[in-house]
Structure 1
Amino acid sequence: FLSDPFSKDPNARMYKTGDLGRWLADGNIEYLGRNDDQ
């Protein structure tokens, strides 16, 4: 788990997955694949 940079709560955490994605100009997220061998 990592600190959540999007939360105002200093104790908030995010789960780090092996998924890769990117924000698109229209606000959608494009899934690019995995960062590991799963």
Structure 2
Amino acid sequence: MKALKKKYIIVAIIVFLLFLIWAELAVGIFNSPFAGS
């Protein structure tokens, strides 16, 4: 049961990172050179 919870946490972190990358590419929240308009 503990291993399953750890797996969910890892998946949640990956999804969160993907969301941050998408948001950066879409709106440029970090003002990086590859950000869109």
Q: TM-score, normalised by structure 1?
A: 0.23
Normalized per residue, the structure richer in strand is 1
Q: Which has the greater radius of gyration?
A: 2
Work out which structure has the larger RCO, using CA pairs closer than 8 Å and 6 or more positions apart in sequence: 1
Normalized per residue, the structure richer in helix is 2
Q: TM-score, normalised by structure 2?
A: 0.24
